């Protein structure tokens, strides 16, 4: 077989962010640095030991990482003071702040280390989350806010005075409105994710017909003179609005720090913290790029970025605490140009919606109109305008990354703020989501990946592994569980969260510098007993990414999704019928329909991208006029359009009646086409199958098998995942079959070992291939179909107990089989019964030596090295450490197990070899038989063929090493540890069951040759 998947050989800078870009992929067995996972690397600040920084890159290389993402943590910004992750600063940030000469030196060391190691480096554009840089506080590109003021005027009364709030900022607009009614209301919010805090306020209804823009009536000294008409209502309100720069910082100023050391005098804005920039203008992006060009990039550093810089990067936008209204000076002009009317008189209504998820209330007094939607349409138009302005910001940073650094640009696009996330995802080179904010939900990932795949992005990234309240508790199988679900959702690149600086830091204790006040997982690195064994998991991740970044993804269905805000990313399609039937699907915003590949050919949507078989709109979907125009065009071009539950009627935004009339008549006009179908909401999969719209993978199993399909040249390859999110460790196994809409010679890829083996049991028609699969809970596999290779003679099916099938010549297969309960079925109808090997032998007697990783006697003096001690136990049954002895309840570290067994296990000579089976593994495992190291073991079903290592007629030795989290040992000191003076803010660490906890068994097999 030719080398499967792509193996390009070009090195260095490549501006192409598209699928099948000509970069160095390496091979499936050994992917290149471009394809390997990376860590988010947290640097406390620029005071750290630069030799340790270089060493940290080398340590990451050893365990299989392709690079690091350099991020100056700066105590999570240490602003505002109510953010619990902040703490007292133990360093002079005037000297060691982000963007200073010290930071530039650190960046240079990181780049040189990256280059010398053959790695790549991503880099945050600023400290904390990359949303700002040091800047003049009056720069036009600094983040803006809009301050509201109002005053009451009696009905029929007059106002001849200075506007309320005059002088509090740059005047923007003024308006009047009749208040029809007011009720007392209680609201809640969680400023900076603290709370909830409850507010007493009012709910006010404004007469929409009374709203009047009086901006042009304001004199140069702020006076307004008017008489308000008589009307039915309570009173009039005069509103005034003023724009000001926000004081939100990404790194606190040394002038306003909670600190334990004196701060040097601040002599320039470069030393005065980092300010969040305007995320809705090119001016905001230019503040960032100008700072980099002027203060961070000399000739050497710029060249290093060109050599090994991968992605300039910005985190999710969590910059709203204290913001009253998302604003930029060009918003009103852009709004009127794009929406066709002025926002000025509707500004009071916009304030009635929180500025960000869990953010503060803009005002305890909320205003709505008496329109049927309470004025929500104007808010939606405001949010849509923010989306369009944010796109300009993103594009400016993208273009600068290309032109100045020959790097690409990655960002966590659109969520957390009131914008259409899907609309702007195509703007960046490598859009990034996250497992935390997307709550591990596959449907949520599909909302993010649909636009990215339609835009042809080679990389769809995820910040993966952050989990609340699991610091030092997260296991490696838990970590890659998120990878598997993400791949099923079409995400294909992973930045593991995270890797803290491994050296000492002031006012910090063992086990080392820890971000987020011990609240979020995980702190990867040498402090973890598992670190020496990470390479099994990182190599697995690299091979999974190699598959998922090769070729072009193909998806069965596109769902219409138009939302103007993604404060949270929740499941949209809730039933399980599509997944159970094997359909894959993604979501698209109508804003994505203008992309070049969003075309219909031969009844297929985006044939050069996902090749969707149908577009689904649901009765409760929100429409846009331009989007409906595209749908009509697609329908007339022959694309199957599915209206699930009825034809939608609702428009987003403020539309005159002609807009509503158009979309309703336009959709009605295509309803009679042969390729347009109105079907019930329930059982959509059944309706699709009745219409002849079939999935590429038809699954048949009592468990849920997710599939992810990609095509590259003459190869098709499919990732299969048995989802067992609802099962305990070791449970959730699934057996079934998948019918693939493709043919060719099938192969199976093992991402744990890098091996590729032909499949020798399947059924094939002229257009489909059916393969039986047995997968443990949360187990995955990759199936490849080589279309340039003819299918060879094969069986129809093998029993589950087949451990190996290797072709011998053109018409024989050599099987290694355990006690098979079913025969081998051949195409000619023959059923071959396999011989029965000796019975399995459970290994119950073990010697266990526990290497305990304990706190040093002085927690602060030795932050990075545990105190090691050994204790030995003789076991007659495997069980968790905390049940072996009370002395092991609060112990973490490594366990060294050893046992022996005779071979053959009985006088029988029928067995020709054996498997060593461990079952499901709770964390990491390495195993040896008679001194021979076994290949990496899949923790969902850890087993290996040990036949070649067995010693006939004597004792055989099994040695196993397992490693644990630090959770149990931290239970003894969790109230004493600190990081930069901040104490443990999470709950008490959980007591975990460590070690080998299942049955370990030697399972004999017989070697049998079967004629095909």
So what's the pLDDT on residue 7? Answer: 40
Residue written as tokens 């090195």? 11
Give yes or no for residue 159 having a pLDDT over 70. yes
Quote the tokens at residue 619.
Answer: 């009765």
Burial string for 602-629 (b: 16+ CB within 10 Å, else e) reads eebbbeebbbbbbbbbbeebbbbbebbe
Give yes or no for residue 15 having a pLDDT over 90. no
Own/partner pairs, 217-224, CB within 8 angstroms, 24+ separation: 217/174, 218/163, 218/171, 218/174, 221/162, 222/162, 222/163, 222/166, 222/167, 222/171, 223/160, 223/161, 223/162, 223/163, 224/159, 224/160, 224/161, 224/162, 224/163, 224/174
The torsion defined by the Cα of 134, 136, 138 and 142, in degrees rounded to 10, comes to -20
Q: What is the largest CA-CA distance in the chain?
A: 109
So what's the pLDDT on residue 1? Answer: 38
Q: What is the pLDDT of residues 675-706, one digit of tens each?
A: 999 999 999 999 999 999 999 999 999 999 99
Give yes or no for residue 59 having a pLDDT over 90. yes
The torsion defined by the Cα of 850, 853, 855 and 858, in degrees rounded to 10, comes to 110
Determine phi and psi for 132, rounding to 5 degrees.
-165, 170
So what's the pLDDT on residue 986? Answer: 85
Angstrom distance (rounded) from CA 705 to CA 697: 10
Q: What is the pLDDT of residues 120-153, one digit of tens each?
A: 999 999 999 999 999 999 999 999 999 999 999 9
So what's the pLDDT on residue 364? Answer: 82
Quote the tokens at residue 145.
Answer: 């806010």
3-class secondary structure, 924: strand
Give yes or no for residue 167 having a pLDDT over 50. yes
Q: What is the pLDDT of residues 840-861, one digit of tens each?
A: 999 999 999 999 999 999 999 9
Once rounded to an integer, what is the mean pLDDT over residues 731-744?
97
Q: Which residue has the higher pLDDT, 191 or 972?
A: 972
Cis peptide before 277 (omega within 30 of 0): no
Q: pLDDT confidence of 2, banded at 50, 70, 90?
A: very low
Residue written as tokens 């190869």? 715
Give yes or no for residue 99 having a pLDDT over 50. yes
So what's the pLDDT on residue 10? Answer: 36
Q: What is the pLDDT of residues 922-950, one digit of tens each?
A: 999 999 999 999 999 999 999 999 999 99
Give yes or no for residue 472 having a pLDDT over 70. yes
**In sequence order, which residues have a C-beta less than 8 Å from that of residue 649 and are 6 or more positions away?**
623, 660, 663, 664
Once rounded to an integer, what is the mean pLDDT over residues 968-979?
97
Among candidates 969, 975, 973, which has minimal Cα distance to 994?
Answer: 969
Give yes or no for residue 81 having a pLDDT over 70. no
Angstrom distance (rounded) from CA 618 to CA 803: 46
Question: 13-22, 135-144, 288-297, 596-605: which has the minimum mean pLDDT?
Answer: 13-22
Among candidates 774, 777, 775, which has minimal Cα distance to 822?
Answer: 774
Question: 26-40, 217-231, 896-910: which has the minimum mean pLDDT?
Answer: 896-910
Could you tell me if 926 and 956 are in contact, meaning their C-beta atoms sit under 8 angstroms apart?
no
Among candidates 871, 891, 885, 897, which has minimal Cα distance to 961?
Answer: 897
Angstrom distance (rounded) from CA 298 to CA 312: 17
Could you tell me if 760 and 795 are in contact, meaning their C-beta atoms sit under 8 angstroms apart?
yes
Average pLDDT, the chain: 95
Could you tell me if 893 and 853 are in contact, meaning their C-beta atoms sit under 8 angstroms apart?
yes
Quote the tokens at residue 674.
Answer: 């042969």
Once rounded to an integer, what is the mean pLDDT over residues 393-412?
98
Element counts in the chain: helices (H) and strands (E):
18, 55
What is the percentage of the chain residues whose pLDDT exceeds 70? Answer: 96
So what's the pLDDT on residue 9? Answer: 37
3-class secondary structure, 615: strand
Could you tell me if 718 and 759 are in contact, meaning their C-beta atoms sit under 8 angstroms apart?
no
Quote the tokens at residue 441.
Answer: 């939900």
**In sequence order, which residues have a C-beta less than 8 Å from that of residue 821 and are 6 or more positions away?**
799, 800, 801
Give yes or no for residue 912 having a pLDDT over 70. yes
Give yes or no for residue 12 having a pLDDT over 60. no
Give yes or no for residue 278 having a pLDDT over 80. yes
What is the percentage of the chain residues whose pLDDT exceeds 90? Answer: 89
Give yes or no for residue 301 having a pLDDT over 70. yes
Angstrom distance (rounded) from CA 991 to CA 971: 8
Cis peptide before 149 (omega within 30 of 0): no
So what's the pLDDT on residue 194? Answer: 63
Could you tell me if 258 and 86 are in contact, meaning their C-beta atoms sit under 8 angstroms apart?
yes
Determine phi and psi for 520, rounding to 5 degrees.
-130, 145
Quote the tokens at residue 838.
Answer: 């000796």
């Amino acid at each position: 077989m030719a080398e499967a998947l792509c193996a390009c050989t070009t090195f260095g800078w490549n501006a192409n962010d598209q699928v099948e870009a000509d970069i160095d992929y390496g091979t499936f067995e050994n992917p290149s640095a471009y394809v390997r996972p990376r860590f988010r690397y947290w640097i406390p600040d620029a005071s750290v030991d630069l030799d340790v920084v270089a060493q940290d890159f080398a340590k990451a290389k050893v365990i299989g990482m392709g690079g690091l993402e350099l991020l100056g943590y700066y105590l999570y910004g240490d602003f505002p003071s109510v953010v619990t992750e902040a703490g007292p600063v133990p360093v002079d940030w005037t000297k060691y702040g982000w963007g200073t000469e010290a930071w530039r030196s650190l960046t240079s060391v990181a780049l040189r280390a990256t280059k010398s190691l053959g790695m790549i480096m991503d880099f945050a554009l600023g400290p904390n989350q990359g949303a700002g840089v040091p800047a003049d506080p009056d720069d036009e590109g600094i983040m803006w806010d809009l301050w509201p003021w109002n005053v009451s005027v009696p009905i029929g009364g007059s106002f001849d005075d200075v506007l309320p709030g005059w002088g509090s900022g740059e005047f923007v607009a003024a308006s009047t409105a009749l208040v029809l009614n007011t009720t007392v209301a209680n609201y809640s919010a969680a400023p900076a994710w603290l709370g909830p805090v409850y507010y007493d306020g009012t709910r006010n209804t404004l007469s929409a017909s009374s709203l009047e823009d009086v901006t042009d009536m304001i004199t140069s000294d702020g006076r307004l003179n008017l008489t308000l008409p008589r009307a039915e209502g309570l009173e009039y309100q005069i509103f005034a609005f003023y724009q000001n720069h926000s004081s939100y910082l990404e790194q606190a100023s040394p002038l306003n720090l909670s600190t334990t050391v004196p701060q040097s005098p601040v002599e320039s804005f470069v030393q005065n913290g980092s300010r969040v920039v305007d995320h809705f203008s090119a001016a905001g992006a230019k503040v960032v790029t100008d700072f980099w060009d002027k203060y961070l990039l000399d000739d050497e550093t710029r060249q290093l970025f060109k050599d090994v810089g991968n992605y300039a990067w910005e985190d999710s936008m969590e910059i709203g605490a204290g913001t009253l209204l998302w604003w930029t000076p060009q918003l009103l002009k852009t709004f009127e140009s794009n929406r066709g009317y002025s926002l000025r008189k509707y500004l009071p209504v916009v304030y009635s919606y929180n500025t960000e998820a869990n953010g503060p209330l803009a005002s305890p007094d909320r205003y709505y109109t008496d329109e049927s939607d309470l004025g929500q349409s104007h808010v939606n138009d405001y949010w849509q305008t923010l989306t369009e302005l944010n796109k300009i910001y993103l594009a400016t940073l993208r273009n600068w990354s290309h032109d100045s650094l020959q790097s690409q640009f990655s960002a966590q696009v659109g969520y957390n703020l009131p914008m259409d996330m899907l609309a702007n995802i195509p703007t960046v080179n490598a859009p990034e989501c996250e497992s935390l904010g997307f709550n591990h939900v596959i449907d949520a990932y599909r909302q993010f990946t649909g636009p990215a795949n339609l835009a042809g992005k080679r990389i769809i990234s995820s910040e993966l592994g952050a989990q609340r309240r699991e610091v030092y508790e997260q296991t490696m199988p838990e970590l890659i569980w998120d990878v598997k679900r993400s791949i099923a959702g079409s995400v294909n690149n992973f930045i593991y969260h995270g890797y803290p600086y491994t050296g000492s830091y002031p006012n910090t204790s063992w086990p080392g510098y820890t971000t987020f006040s011990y609240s979020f997982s995980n702190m990867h690195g040498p402090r973890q007993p598992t670190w020496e064994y990470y390479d099994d998991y990182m190599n697995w991740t690299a091979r999974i990414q190699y598959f998922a970044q090769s070729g072009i993804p193909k998806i069965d269905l596109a769902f219409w999704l138009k939302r103007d805000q993604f404060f949270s990313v929740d499941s949209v399609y809730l039933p399980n019928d599509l997944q159970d039937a094997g359909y894959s699907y993604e979501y698209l915003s109508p804003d994505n329909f203008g992309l070049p590949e969003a075309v219909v050919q031969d009844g297929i949507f985006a044939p050069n991208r996902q090749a969707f078989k149908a577009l689904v709109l649901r009765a409760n979907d929100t429409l846009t006029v331009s989007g409906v125009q595209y749908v009509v065009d697609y329908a007339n071009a022959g694309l199957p359009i599915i209206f699930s539950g009825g034809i939608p009627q609702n428009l987003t935004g403020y539309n005159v009646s002609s807009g509503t009339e158009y979309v309703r008549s336009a959709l009605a006009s295509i309803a009679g086409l042969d390729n347009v179908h109105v079907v019930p909401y329930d059982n959509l999969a059944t309706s699709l199958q009745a219409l002849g719209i079939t999935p590429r993978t038809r699954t048949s199993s009592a468990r849920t098998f997710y599939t992810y399909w990609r095509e590259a040249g003459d190869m098709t390859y499919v990732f299969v995942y048995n989802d067992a999110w609802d099962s305990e460790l070791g449970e959730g196994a699934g057996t079934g079959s998948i019918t693939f809409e493709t043919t060719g010679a099938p192969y199976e890829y093992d991402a744990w070992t890098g091996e590729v083996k032909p499949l020798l049991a399947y059924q094939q028609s002229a257009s489909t291939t059916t393969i039986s699969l047995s997968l443990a809970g949360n187990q995955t596999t990759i199936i490849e179909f080589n279309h340039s290779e003819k299918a060879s003679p094969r069986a129809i099916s093998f029993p589950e107990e087949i451990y190996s099938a290797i072709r011998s010549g053109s018409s024989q297969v050599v099987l290694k089989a355990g006690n098979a309960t079913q025969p081998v079925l051949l195409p000619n109808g023959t059923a071959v019964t396999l011989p029965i090997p000796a019975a399995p032998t459970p290994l119950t007697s073990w010697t266990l030596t526990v290497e305990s990783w304990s706190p040093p006697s002085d927690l602060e003096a030795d932050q990075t090295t545990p105190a090691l001690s050994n204790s030995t136990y003789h076991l007659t049954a495997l069980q968790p450490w905390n049940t072996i002895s009370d002395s092991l309840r609060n112990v973490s570290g490594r366990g060294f197990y050893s046992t022996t067994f005779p071979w053959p296990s009985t006088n029988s000579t029928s067995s020709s070899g054996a498997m060593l089976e461990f079952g499901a593994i709770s964390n990491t495992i390495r195993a040896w038989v008679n001194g021979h190291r076994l290949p990496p073991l899949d923790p969902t079903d850890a087993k290996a063929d040990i036949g070649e290592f067995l010693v006939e007629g004597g004792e055989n030795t099994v040695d196993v090493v397992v490693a644990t989290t630090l959770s149990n040992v931290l239970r003894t000191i969790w109230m004493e540890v600190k990081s930069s003076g901040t104490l443990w803010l999470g709950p008490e660490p959980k007591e975990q069951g460590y070690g080998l906890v299942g049955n370990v068994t030697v399972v004999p097999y017989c070697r049998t040759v079967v004629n095909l």
